[in-house]
Structure 1
Amino acid sequence: MDSSFFPADLILRSSAVFTGSEEEPHAAAVAVTSDRIIWVGDPADMPGELQGPDTEVRDFGDALIMPGFHDAHMHVFHSALYLSPLAERFVGENEADAVARLAPLAARRPAGSWLLTQGWRDYLWNPAGMPSKASLDAAYPDRPVAMYSGDAHTLWLNSCALERLGITDDTEPPAGGSYDRDEAGHLTGIVREAAAMELMPRIVAEFSTEELLDAYRSFERYLNEHGITGVCDVSLMAMPGLDFVRDDLYAQLEANDELTVRVSMFPTLLEDRGRLDELQAAHTGPLLQARGFKQFFDGVSSQHTAWVHDPYSNARFDGDCGRPTVGPEVMEALVAPAAAEGHAVRVHAIGDEAIHQCLDIFERHPVGQVLGGVAHHTIEHLENFQPADIERLARADVIASVQPRHITLDPGGPERDLGAERVPYMWPFRTLLDAGATLAFGTDSPVTDIDPLDAVYTAVTRRDADTHEPEGGWLPEEAITLAEALSAYTAGSAAAAQRAGEVGELVPGQYADLVVLSPNPFSLAPEDVQQAKVQTTYVGGKQVYEAE
């Protein structure tokens, strides 16, 4: 873009600018016209014609100017919902405490309406153990309760909820899902995987469009306050019509000039691929687009539903290796035509066998030139690897979309579930980068909070962002540098969003999505990175947040 023909609308300066293409920040100015960056360089070299009489010039001193954070893996509907007055979000100390924490929600929601929460994790409770409908029935015998687990794979329902949903002891779960039963064959109220996914749309149907729009508006503000300028809104469901990618809500916000985050939508990959075609035709603006598909290959390790090659170390039965949500041949039949049409596919694969089989499929069916650039398949989560698959992933140019805060969600859980021999190949960020792989960072919100600096802290220290444990870090040899972590959260995530070249770096021609952090995290020790705070956030050259 030739800057010699017009002055910039905005010029930002700092002694510390991280463009995303170097290891350290340096003094620079960033010039913006309309929604694009038109010039970046040493302030002493800036062409005089860039600064006109109406140009806004801001000098941020020694604060860090960098590309805006881009969350590569988020479920926006549920994230917005659980942070709104419509629901609650908590882990709880134990089963009884979790039930007790429903009281404020019950008091503010209309009589007879659903009580919906997210966040419980039975393995973190004291005492640990899977809950049942009995405790909910005692407190809420005449009101439906649905409590979604922290990993978003399991529902805990009471009897009133089961009755309202029409689930009885004789109900058969959908493929890829299950209903837990006691020794007598009666429902316990625990609903897993696809069965839980199938029920959620019916549970949230009582919320009005305006209530949901308010939740989205509030969540956008929350994102901008944390320096997030872009998100990948990925399908949470593996079933037809249940992806929760609410383009209708985004469209209303966009029409009202209330969309303050760049959104890349990834609906569920089905045999009928028409949904993506419809989304891409309907949403062509710079802030809202659909960029590919999402599917599920397995579940989660903590519930033994992630698909692993060798049985779990604490196997619950002979041959306890988890399971694929769909068979490899079914997954390949879905991926192959999508890739042939130039569509990138993102696949949830946590266990080492799911990753291995997914790589087999992606190697046979790469995706090439599309949307003006090169598209990349992506594997989501990648909790543990078969060692040789790390270099395979890099060679196949498949993006590793990972969530650093998952590393410390379950202290001792990897050792408990997978054993010491497999632990060294869990979340191996350093090894992946050294092999030449591309990392894309996100949060899997609402599974973990959206704060990017907490995730960066975990990536560079291998410690939990809340407890700062373990001392010295968990598998500290897999820690990465601050520059690498920030690049994974910007350029890497842009690649996962299929927006490489549009966002993720501070270079001429890209959208002016920027964040300013103070103090400059490069001036801090790794263990102090969380001291950096967002000062201001720009999306497309428009200021969407400014700290007081």
Structure 2
Amino acid sequence: MQLKKLFNPLLLAGLFASCTSIAQTQVIYNANGYTPLYQGGIHTFSTLVIKNGKVVKTGDDTLKNTFPDATLIDAKGNTLLPGLIDAHGHVIGLGDNLSQLDVRGAKSVEEITAKLEQFAKNKQGWLLGRGWNQELWSNTRFPTAKDLDKVVNDRPVVLSRVDSHAIWVNSKALELAGITAATQAPDGGEIIKDEFGNPTGIFIDKAESLITQHMSAPSKQAISDSLDAAGAHLLSLGITSTHDAGIDKTTWEVYKARSEQGDLPLRIVAMLSAASPDLEYMLKAGRYQDAESFMSIRSVKVYADGALGSRGAALIDDYADRKNHHGLMLETQAKLEELFTLSFKNGFSANTHAIGDKANKVVLDAYQNVFKQTGGMLLRNRIEHAQIVTPDDIPRFKALKIIPSMQPVHATSDMHMAEQRLTDDQLQGAYAWQTFLQQGSVIAAGSDYPVELANPFDGLYSAITRMDHNKLPENGWRAAEVLSREQALRAFTLGGAYAAHQEFKIGSLENSKWADFILVDKDYFKVPVDEIYKTQVLQTWIAGELRFKKE
């Protein structure tokens, strides 16, 4: 079985001295248990019986008398839920982010440069950070290299925007990369320039590579360390399985090696990056899954457009706040069809990033064409984000069996900015979770960490309320699309499992599924709605093994 690499073995021994092997039967009792059921509805229980890491039965507390030789574990009345599944994150990016400069939530350029100045004192070489968002500043214009030069001018600085679709660099980075007024952006990218044609220090989407290609690639050990850091963080939030949206060859090699060694921190469903020059090599190696479903690799992450915050999301009509600008398609429809065909012929599904309404339309057209010529409709292909979709295109998801892989917290993070970027007509199909569900689509919910915080209870709260943590706007933003508590929980459990072809293995606590579950300090179904995002995870279990315990 997978080793408890991230958990203190002495603590585990002290807590459950008799629970040294999951081959034993374990009975978790005195729990306030809830699980969605594959066939629909919510099942409640107080006792969970586990053997060999899998669910045997759930029921009331009399069940423990049926298993007299079992190890008994008192849940102390806490709420027990299935382990939560984040269907869209970036595992190594999250691990890296934990050791880089974090400027998320900064309210001004000055706040960021002050943090950078302190950060630079203890770092050598390239200075990397993430999280800036000009929409939070009083002056919402993009910043410049000169702003960074004031505090660091002797080393290159690269700060990723919160959505990862733009970078902000200093003049040293421009110099090392040889960027001048004559430098042209690649297709699918934009270099922001001043009125004299000089680069300002902002690079959007594919233009980022003009800078990042000069940075050293991380070692396998660095990737493995980031995996451990991210894994520990996700486990503390109650996430037992995560889908990693786009990995390169080195990460692919690390993941498979860690899987074979049996020391992955949590379940990972990895998507091969279509941007990798090694894509065909990885596809030819075939799909991968270990015996215990800790590592699954059977899909390709394709990139169609940019993000709304950096005005890179591809729109049919102009941006409301930038006339004659429609965003950026990162690939042509022909290239998308080529990538889909390559994926399908190798037995891999295609999970395509599409945020703007044009991108979603082009991607749907590409899927439709390839399905007719090559097949592949039954591979559970996905559109990642599906944020701005025309009402006419929403039914096509169902007709083409495309899974909308959506991140509820994006709606509450984006709502004010989206109202500036888009007209009311453009917003008619925006973040349309309830519309997708009502037509019979399966939503796979996630967070898009580290673009957003990874806490799934933030996502559950956003899905149920469409309000920020101050309960604004009152009654929710475009509230017709809110989800019920049951719908939201299903999207963060069985929805993600279904999208990964794992609905009969994880996602609910039903007979013969892996015993992935969490204990939390609040009753998800009964607490006031504004308490949901405050939920604390007390314990996280995977396959009947304790992986995290809150100190």
TM-score of the aligned structures, taking structure 2 as reference length:
0.88
CA contact (8 A) 1:366 1:377 kept: no
Listed as ranges, the matches of 1:280-299 within 5 Å are: 280=287, 286-299=293-306
- Given residue 272 of structure 2, which amino acid in structure 1 is its aligned partner? P
Report deviation, 1:148. Answer: 0.5
Aligned residue number for residue 384 of structure 2? 380
- Given residue 92 of structure 1, which amino acid in structure 2 is its aligned partner? A
1:229 aligns with 2:240: yes
- 1:171 is aligned, of 183, 199, 202, to 183
- Given residue 223 of structure 1, which amino acid in structure 2 is its aligned partner? L
Q: Structure 1 residues 411 and 299 mapped into 2: Cα distance closer, same or farther (>3 Å)?
A: same
Report deviation, 1:213. Answer: 3.5
Q: Deviations over 1:308-361 (max 9, x none)?
A: 2222222333xx222321111211121124224432110001111211222223
CA contact (8 A) 2:168 2:203 kept: yes
Aligned residue number for residue 310 of structure 1? 317
Q: Structure 1 residues 306 and 62 mapped into 2: Cα distance closer, same or farther (>3 Å)?
A: same
CA contact (8 A) 1:369 1:375 kept: no
Listed as ranges, the matches of 1:130-145 within 5 Å are: 130-145=142-157
Aligned residue number for residue 117 of structure 2? 103
Q: Structure 1 residues 96 and 45 mapped into 2: Cα distance closer, same or farther (>3 Å)?
A: closer
1:343 aligns with 2:348: yes
CA contact (8 A) 1:81 1:87 kept: no
Q: Deviations over 1:122-174 (max 9, x none)?
A: 12211221111111122211111001001100011111112223333333333
Aligned residue number for residue 401 of structure 1? 405
CA contact (8 A) 1:349 1:358 kept: yes
Cα distance in 2 for partners of 1:507, 1:282 equals 22
Cα distance in 2 for partners of 1:125, 1:137 equals 19
Q: Secondary structure at the match of 1:413?
A: helix
Cα distance in 1 for partners of 2:371, 2:31 equals 42
Cα distance in 2 for partners of 1:528, 1:202 equals 46
- Given residue 156 of structure 2, which amino acid in structure 1 is its aligned partner? P
Listed as ranges, the matches of 1:109-508 within 5 Å are: 109-110=123-124, 113-197=125-209, 199-200=211-212, 202-203=214-215, 205=217, 209-235=220-246, 243=248, 246-251=251-256, 253-254=258-259, 257-269=262-274, 273-278=280-285, 280=287, 286-317=293-324, 320-366=325-371, 375-465=379-469, 467-508=470-511
Q: Secondary structure at the match of 1:136?
A: helix
- Given residue 246 of structure 2, which amino acid in structure 1 is its aligned partner? S
- Given residue 12 of structure 1, which amino acid in structure 2 is its aligned partner? I
Cα distance in 2 for partners of 1:173, 1:248 equals 32
Q: Secondary structure at the match of 1:299?
A: coil
Cα distance in 1 for partners of 2:326, 2:179 equals 28
Listed as ranges, the matches of 1:69-108 within 5 Å are: 69-84=84-99, 86-108=100-122
Report deviation, 1:37. Answer: 2.1
CA contact (8 A) 2:103 2:112 kept: no
Q: Structure 1 residues 310 and 173 mapped into 2: Cα distance closer, same or farther (>3 Å)?
A: closer
Report deviation, 1:366. Answer: 4.8
Cα distance in 2 for partners of 1:504, 1:198 equals 41
Cα distance in 2 for partners of 1:277, 1:40 equals 42
CA contact (8 A) 1:154 1:192 kept: yes
CA contact (8 A) 1:80 1:215 kept: yes
Unaligned runs of 5+ in 1: 1-5, 237-242
CA contact (8 A) 1:94 1:126 kept: yes
CA contact (8 A) 2:82 2:507 kept: yes
Cα distance in 1 for partners of 2:427, 2:518 equals 36
Report deviation, 1:362. Answer: 2.5
CA contact (8 A) 2:354 2:386 kept: yes
Identity level (%): 26
Q: Deviations over 1:47-95 (max 9, x none)?
A: 93xx253x322232542222111111111111111112x4434342122
Q: Secondary structure at the match of 1:174?
A: coil
Q: Deviations over 1:187-227 (max 9, x none)?
A: 2111110121464364353x555454333322211111110
- Given residue 158 of structure 2, which amino acid in structure 1 is its aligned partner? A
CA contact (8 A) 2:286 2:346 kept: no
Q: Structure 1 residues 260 and 71 mapped into 2: Cα distance closer, same or farther (>3 Å)?
A: same
Q: Structure 1 residues 281 and 448 mapped into 2: Cα distance closer, same or farther (>3 Å)?
A: closer
Q: Secondary structure at the match of 1:274?
A: helix
- Given residue 304 of structure 2, which amino acid in structure 1 is its aligned partner? F
| Root-mean-square deviation (Å) | 2.8
Q: Secondary structure at the match of 1:308?
A: coil
Cα distance in 2 for partners of 1:96, 1:155 equals 17
Aligned residue number for residue 240 of structure 1? none
Cα distance in 2 for partners of 1:375, 1:541 equals 30
Q: Structure 1 residues 407 and 107 mapped into 2: Cα distance closer, same or farther (>3 Å)?
A: same
Cα distance in 1 for partners of 2:210, 2:267 equals 28
Cα distance in 1 for partners of 2:390, 2:364 equals 11
Report deviation, 1:120. Answer: 0.5
CA contact (8 A) 2:390 2:428 kept: no
Q: Structure 1 residues 282 and 443 mapped into 2: Cα distance closer, same or farther (>3 Å)?
A: closer
Aligned residue number for residue 239 of structure 1? none
1:64 aligns with 2:79: yes
Q: Secondary structure at the match of 1:523?
A: coil
Report deviation, 1:378. Answer: 0.5
Unaligned runs of 5+ in 2: 1-21
Q: Secondary structure at the match of 1:464?
A: coil
- Given residue 442 of structure 1, which amino acid in structure 2 is its aligned partner? G
Q: Structure 1 residues 247 and 189 mapped into 2: Cα distance closer, same or farther (>3 Å)?
A: same
Report deviation, 1:518. Answer: 2.1
Give the paired residue count: 525
- Given residue 103 of structure 1, which amino acid in structure 2 is its aligned partner? E
